[in-house]
């Protein structure tokens, strides 16, 4: 390992590998290192289908080594702190790495412990979550063992990755129960900290209809605060007309999307947005360049681009970041000019064989890729997400070819 690199990429996930591949495709002589502790890489969108029992969990994980570009160096260590005035990263093992340019894309932190009782009972007592490799399979186990009763699905009010994932598994579960003739004996409730189902009005309306079709009860501005695994009870803080009350709800199964934030080592660093409890990396939302340090860029879940934390957003952000970083590197100026338009996408599974592809921007304006009504559920989109996307991810996106 050297002590200095031209470009240091912190995080070798969806964003880090895409950027490394695209940079090297444009200029193979760049001196790039990827700082990434994990020897496994996950295709996280696959976990929704794993939880629904229609995708093999083993197809969502591969060796990280297989995706590090030949021309880049993999430093298998973690970032623990930043000294941006000295262009330095301090690693978990205590090493100091210097860089000319840095790309920060260390993903999001799952704050399980913010829900009282959740870490102790997750993966047992009917408490499941598609938000990690270790627990996604248990979602389907809960669903398979469910013979009617109360099924709860939760979403926090905070920004999370793939903001529609808590609903996707709920519609799959409802369809599963419908097919097994159990829907009428089941009470499904969505407790969400948000005021609606999705921030785009046209899609929100379509989702309200879909939830109605399954007889799903909706409880808005409802934050999960505690789970009592042994007695199978969940406690919610429900806000109505400016006042908040706690409600204890019994359940037979509960799918939890935990609160999320930037990883602590980012939150506590000079790179984070000031006075933001979630601590995202403080970048210009269009150029993806840091607002204080012009040789630092960021993208993906950890960046302060707002409610756009998806792989689909990474796909649009990566080429923008690469163009801007190369322009700054080449011209030795501090100005980045190519702009990210705030695109993000939520492929919402609404049943087995049906999917609503919601694509939109910062302003909640629909941005459909296909000339089709984006508020309609389609079998073709289900095929796209189930078969085409995993192939594209492993073979093109992570290689910087798409
Ligand atoms: C259940 C679920 C469903 C989803 N569905 C979709 C979907 O349908 N469509 C979609 O577009 N997106 C979806 N997503 C979101 C998508 O997976 C993420 O938005 C995407 O992976 C973000 O890429 P990233 O590189 O920012 O983060 P990640 O891919 O999570 O990568 C972050 C990397 O940083 C590394 N890291 C962590 N700590 C450190 C450290 N200290 N130092 C260095 N490296 C570190 C991690 O090991 C990891 O490799 C889904 C996610 C989940 C969980």
Domain 4-108+262-340: which CATH number of 3.40.50.1820, 3.90.70.10, 1.10.287.1770, 3.50.50.60? 3.50.50.60
- On whether the 116-260 domain is CATH 3.50.50.60, my answer is yes
Domain regions of the chain by residue span: 4-108+262-340, 116-260
Rounded Cα distance between 198 and 363, Å, is 13
* Ligand 1 atom at minimum distance from 263 CA: 38
Q: How far, in Å, is the centroid of ligand 1 from the Cα of 401?
A: 19
**Quick check: pTM over 0.95?**
yes
Is 142 tagged catalytic? no
Any long-range contacts for 131-137 (C-beta under 8 Å, 24+ apart)?
131/47, 131/165, 131/256, 131/257, 131/258, 132/47, 133/42, 133/47, 133/57, 133/60, 133/61, 136/47, 136/50, 136/51, 136/57, 136/60, 137/50, 137/51, 137/57
- Which of 106-118 are b and which e, b meaning 16 or more Cβ less than 10 Å from the residue's Cβ? bbbbbbbebbebb
> Ligand 1, from 54, 57, 310: best to mutate by most atoms within 8 Å of Cβ?
310
Q: Measured from the CA of 47, which atom of ligand 1 is nearest?
A: 1
Q: 232 and 251 in contact (C-beta within 8 Å)? A: yes
Cβ of 48 less than 6 Å from ligand 1:
yes
Expressed in angstroms and rounded, the spacing between residue 301 Cα and the centre of ligand 1 is: 7
Give the span between the Cα atoms of 208 and 347, in whole angstroms.
Answer: 16
87 C-beta neighbours (distance < 10 Å), count: 18
- Which atom of ligand 1 lies nearest, measured to the CA of 17? 25
Any residues with CB less than 8 A from the CB of 356 and at least 6 apart, and which? 203, 206, 207, 210, 347, 348, 350, 374, 375, 376, 377, 378, 381
Q: How far is the CA of 41 from the centre of ligand 1 (A)?
A: 9
Percent of the chain predicted with pLDDT > 90: 98
Nearest-10 Cα torsion for 384, 387, 388, 393: 120
Q: Which two structure tokens, joined as six digits, stand for 251?
A: 């359940």
pLDDT, tens digit, 9 for 90 and up, residues 308-329: 999 999 999 999 999 999 999 9
State the Cα–Cα distance between residues 150 and 188, nearest whole angstrom: 6
Question: Do 304 and 285 touch, CB atoms closer than 8 A?
Answer: yes
Residue 89, φ and ψ in degrees, nearest 5: -115, 135
CA distance 257 to 167: 10
Q: How far is the CA of 44 from the centre of ligand 1 (A)?
A: 7
Domains 4-108+262-340 and 116-260 share a fold: yes
The pLDDT tens digits along the chain (402 residues) read: 899 999 999 999 999 999 999 999 999 999 999 999 999 999 999 999 999 999 999 999 999 999 999 999 999 999 999 999 999 999 999 999 999 999 999 999 999 999 999 999 999 999 999 999 999 999 999 999 999 999 999 999 999 999 999 999 999 999 999 999 999 999 999 999 999 999 999 999 999 999 999 999 999 999 999 999 999 999 999 999 989 999 999 999 999 999 999 999 999 999 999 999 999 999 999 999 999 999 999 999 999 999 999 999 999 999 999 999 999 999 877 777 899 999 999 999 999 999 999 999 999 999 999 999 999 999 999 999 999 999 999 999 999 998
Atom of ligand 1 minimally distant from the CA of 311 = 11
Residue whose CA is at the smallest distance from ligand 1 atom 15: 310
Does ligand 1 lie within 6 Å of residue 351's CB atom? no
């Amino acid at each position: 390992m050297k002590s200095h690199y031209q470009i240091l990429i912190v995080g070798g996930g969806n964003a880090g590998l895409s950027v490394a591949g695209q940079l090297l495709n444009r200029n193979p002589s760049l001196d790039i290192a990827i700082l990434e502790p994990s020897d496994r890489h996950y295709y996280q969108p696959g976990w929704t289908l794993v939880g629904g029992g229609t995708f093999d969990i083993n197809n969502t994980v591969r060796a990280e080594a297989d995706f590090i570009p030949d021309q880049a160096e993999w430093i298998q260590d973690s970032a623990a702190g930043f000294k941006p005035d000295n262009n330095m990263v301090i690693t978990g093992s205590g090493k100091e790495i210097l860089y000319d340019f840095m790309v920060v894309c260390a993903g999001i932190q799952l704050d399980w412990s913010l829900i009282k009782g959740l870490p102790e009972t997750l993966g047992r007592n009917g408490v499941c979550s598609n938000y990690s490799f270790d627990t996604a399979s248990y979602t389907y186990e809960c669903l398979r063992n469910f013979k009617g009763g109360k099924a709860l699905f939760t979403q926090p009010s905070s920004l999370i990755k793939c903001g529609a994932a808590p609903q996707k598994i709920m519609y799959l579960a409802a369809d599963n129960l419908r097919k097994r003739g159990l829907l009428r004996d089941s009470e499904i409730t969505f407790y969400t900290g948000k005021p609606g189902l999705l921030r785009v009005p046209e899609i929100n309306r379509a989702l309200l209809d879909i939830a109605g079709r399954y007889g799903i009860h909706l409880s808005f501005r409802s934050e999960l605060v505690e789970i009592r695994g042994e007695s199978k009870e969940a406690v919610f803080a429900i806000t109505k007309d400016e006042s908040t009350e706690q409600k204890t709800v019994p359940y037979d199964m509960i799918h939890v999307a935990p609160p999320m934030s930037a990883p602590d080592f980012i939150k506590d660093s000079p790179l984070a947005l000031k006075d933001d409890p979630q601590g995202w990396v403080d970048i210009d939302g269009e150029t993806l360049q840091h607002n204080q340090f012009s040789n630092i860029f960021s993208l993906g879940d950890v960046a302060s681009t707002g409610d756009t934390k998806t792989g689909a957003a990474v796909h649009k952000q990566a080429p923008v970041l690469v163009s801007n970083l190369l322009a700054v590197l080449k011209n030795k100026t501090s100005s980045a000019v190519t702009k990210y338009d705030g695109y993000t996408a939520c492929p919402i599974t609404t049943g087995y064989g049906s999917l609503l592809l919601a694509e939109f921007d910062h302003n909640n304006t629909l941005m459909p890729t296909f000339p089709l009504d984006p508020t309609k559920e389609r079998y073709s989109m289900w095929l796209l997400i189930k078969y085409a996307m995993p192939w594209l991810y492993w073979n093109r996106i992570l290689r910087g070819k798409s």
